[in-house]
Chain A
Amino acid sequence: MGLIAASHATPGPADGDADAVESEPDARFTFANERTFLAWTRTALAFVVAGLGVVQLLPPFPGVPWGRHVLGVPLIVIGAVIAVTSYSQWVRSQQALRRGQPLPRSVLPRILAIAITAMAIVSAVVLLVSAVLKPR
């Protein structure tokens, strides 16, 4: 059971890379790439769920009528961005695997970190504004 199952090697100068020879990568790598895509898909769905939950299930913030939308709408948009990006990431990784090249760096962790940081800051601001404006 060889690690690289180069069954049907096909020369594939897909986009300008004339030296790239493509071959079917080991099934384990293909499966692992697919699982990574699916994990990001679930992350994207979790963002959509969170955004919808904020808008639909939370009681309104006192004094901040737009608070739930400011939190929920970006969460849903981030979910869509992660879904689309994870697919293009899967395509690039699969291509690198086929060509035996190093895997491209993923932008998804950065998107995730920035998104969560930004949402934490926005949440803190909404809560603070609500606490200040709350009718007492």
Chain B
Amino acid sequence: MNPDPEESDPGLARERTNMAWTRTAISFAALGAAILKDHLVPGLIVLALGLATWILSRLLPGTFGATGARPRQLLLVTVAVTAVAAVALGVALTART
């Protein structure tokens, strides 16, 4: 009695979206590791953002239950990326020419 995955998750959309979240979290972590090389604290913060993204994706409403838009969570990710870009800009501008 195997439940048809098309019933519970049409087009496997939910699973593919969860994997997209995982890829995004890994991207954050990779950026954190790159920053870590020269800047310990900012690097650790961005690494933590990667972990936070992953945890956020697990906590999302709709991940395991009903579906629906989640604007607040996506806005959070946008704010995080923009903040990281601002930190990177600061690092780049203070680097010696």
Contact = CB atoms under 8 A, between A and B. Distances in A.
Interface residues of B, number: 42
A68 B91 CA distance: 13
B13 A27 contact: yes
Contacts of B77: 38, 41
Main secondary structure of the interface of B (DSSP, over half): helix
Interface string A75-112: 01101100110110011001000000000000000000
Given A27-B13, A28-B11, A48 B95 contact: no
Contacts of B86: 80
B21 interface: yes
A76 B67 contact: no
A76 B92 CA distance: 9
* SS of A interface (majority): helix
B34 to A, nearest CB: 6
A30 to B, nearest CB: 6
A41 B85 contact: no
Nearest to A81: B85
Interface of B: 6-7, 10-11, 13-14, 16-17, 20-21, 23-24, 27-28, 30-31, 34-35, 37-38, 62, 67-71, 74-75, 77-78, 81-82, 84-86, 88-89, 91-93, 95, 97
Interface of A: 1, 24, 27-28, 30-32, 34-35, 37-39, 41-42, 44-46, 48-49, 51-53, 55-57, 60, 65-66, 68-69, 72-73, 76-77, 79-80, 83-84, 86-87, 90-91, 94
**Nearest 7 A-B pairs (CB), nearest first?**
A27-B67, A80-B85, A31-B13, A83-B81, A87-B78, A55-B92, A38-B20
